Amino acid sequence: MLILHCPYCGVKGEETEFAPGGEAHLARHGPGSTDDDFKSYLFSRKNPRGVHFERWRHASGCGKWFHAARATDTLEVYATYKAQTLAPPKQVLDIIAKKRPGWNI
């Protein structure tokens, strides 16, 4: 079970209060993009054993979308951060780097 901290309403809740939204930081490739880009945007998702960036929604709470950085193998949640960003913020990467030496995005 994951314990997530909602960066919008400050609630520390457990997984069942939230709804998962899949991989975070996808770049959208819409009309006008190459077939390969479009295909990978639609169908290809990372499935790492280790650090993963995900989108979550505080479904039973404030209803906001946010991001979480967590480990898929240990279920450790490194950090959660707001959705208004295109890439993981530096402080989140620092936390992960500290806990997982040698890890690269």
49 in Cβ contact with 72 (< 8 Å): yes
**Whole-number minimum distance, CB 64 to another protein, in Å?**
7
From the list 16, 44, 74, 85, which residue makes contact with another protein (rule: CB under 8 A)? 16
Distance CA 23, CA 105 (A): 14
Residue ranges with strand state E in the chain: 3-5, 12-14, 19-23, 51-57, 65-71, 77-82
| Position 17 contacts another protein (CB under 8 A) | yes
**Binding segment toward another protein, per CB under 8 A, in 12-20, 23-31, 49-57, 97-105:** 12-20
Q: What are the φ and ψ backbone dihedral angles of 13, each rounded to 5 degrees?
A: -125, 170
Q: What are the φ and ψ backbone dihedral angles of 93, each rounded to 5 degrees?
A: -60, -35
**Whole-number minimum distance, CB 24 to another protein, in Å?**
20
| Residue 24 token pair | 């975070």
Closer residue to another protein in complex, CB, 58/70: 58
Report the site for another protein in 28-87 (rule: CB under 8 A).
60-64
**Whole-number minimum distance, CB 3 to another protein, in Å?**
10
| Position 11 contacts another protein (CB under 8 A) | yes
